[in-house]
Amino acid sequence: MAPSIPAGGRPSPVPAPAPASAATAASVGGPAAGLQAIREDLGDCQRCKLAGGRKTIVFGQGHPQARLMFVGEAPGADEDEQGLAFVGRAGQLLTKIIEAIGLTREDVYICNVLKCRPPQNRNPETDEILSCQPFLERQIETIRPTVLVGLGKFAAQWLLKTAEPITRLRGRLGDYAAAGPGGPIKVMATYHPAYLLRNPGAKKDVWEDMKVVRDLLKE
């Protein structure tokens, strides 16, 4: 997937409706203040067993009024060190994917289902997902993106509330039923960048998915 492929103009961020869960902060300072309030509520989280092994909470970063939001699985070693989502090799590939549709990382918002790194990068466990779920829900409600991209199995299944495998979800548009005004948010399920590093032949599938996302942002 090459960022030199013509991708059209860059979509402009639009104001996001204030979610009920961050109503006080958002009414004063908008989505940026709402996200800060969520981060403060998360605090030095000890809500699940991952707290004992992490170095840093990886809350997420990007434009607080992004029209495009990426949700991955969990932080890896680089993310755990730096406290930022998608900064390792998979993150570098995600940057290229974002640039291929005419955007930059500063235009979008990037986070994960889990805020802490699982030991040895193992799969997220149900209790861990449930512990992080309220904070991710509030992030989505505060940002109110036009499109959510679920990167990989765990993010796609969480956003779409399904147990279907990523091989069947990939490339299909669905809806995320966000609380508050504005109705459901479109979801594109696609492969995780880490999967693409192991299976470069799948990049063409992700490119097809991202062209659909690009077109949705133009509407």
Average pLDDT in the 25-35 region?
Answer: 80
Looking at residue 28, its pLDDT comes to 60
pLDDT of 32 over the 50 cut: yes
Task: Name the pLDDT band for 179 (thresholds 50, 70, 90).
Answer: confident
Model confidence over 48-69: pLDDT tens digits?
Answer: 999 999 999 999 999 999 999 9
Average pLDDT in the 87-94 region?
Answer: 98
Average pLDDT in the 108-113 region?
Answer: 98
123 DSSP 8-state letter: P
* pTM of the predicted protein model: 0.88
Q: Which CATH class is domain 20-218?
A: alpha beta
Task: Name the pLDDT band for 25 (thresholds 50, 70, 90).
Answer: low
Task: Name the pLDDT band for 21 (thresholds 50, 70, 90).
Answer: very low
**CA dist., res. 87 & res. 78, Å (int):** 6
Model confidence over 133-174: pLDDT tens digits?
Answer: 999 999 999 999 999 999 999 999 999 999 999 999 999 999
Average pLDDT in the 12-25 region?
Answer: 40
- Tell me whether residue 110 is exposed, middle or buried, using C-beta atoms within 10 angstroms of its C-beta: 0 to 12, 13 to 18, 19 or more: buried
Domain boundaries of the chain, sorted by first residue: 20-218
Looking at residue 167, its pLDDT comes to 97
Looking at residue 60, its pLDDT comes to 98
Of 106 and 1, the one with more pLDDT: 106
Cα–Cα separations (whole angstroms), residue 162 to 70, 129, 200, 217: 18, 14, 26, 25
Cα–Cα separations (whole angstroms), residue 44 to 24, 55, 73, 86: 22, 11, 20, 21
Looking at residue 182, its pLDDT comes to 85
Phi first, then psi: what are they for 150, rounded to 5°? -90, 115
Looking at residue 10, its pLDDT comes to 35
Q: What is the mean pLDDT of the chain?
A: 90
Residue type, 196: L
Model confidence over 184-201: pLDDT tens digits?
Answer: 999 999 999 999 999 999
